[in-house]
Amino acid sequence: MLYHISQTTSNYAFSAVELEPGDNKVTYFHDPLSFKLGLLLTSVSLAMSVLFIAMNIRRDLRRRARTSEFVDEE
């Protein structure tokens, strides 16, 4: 059976849940929106960085291929 119990603070820094005496099973589920947004922004930034680096490498390889053609002709 699942109960939604409000949590309180303990020792000014920790979360606490008041329980009845006996055997209890407590599952703490934390799913903040800020984490999801941060993960999304980080993923997009990483993908853009990889794309930018790949484009620069490709451009540099093309430039080197063009300059090597001019060197071979002389």
Bridge-based pairing of strands 14-16 and 8-10 is antiparallel
Domain ranges of the chain: 8-73
Q: Is 44 exposed, middle or buried (0-12, 13-18, 19+ CB in 10 A)?
A: exposed
Structure tokens at 58: 């490709």
Structure tokens at 56: 């620069």
| Global pTM exceeds 0.75 | no
pLDDT tens figures, 13-72: 788 888 888 888 888 788 899 999 999 999 999 999 999 999 999 999 888 888 776 665
| Angstrom distance (rounded) from CA 35 to CA 65 | 45
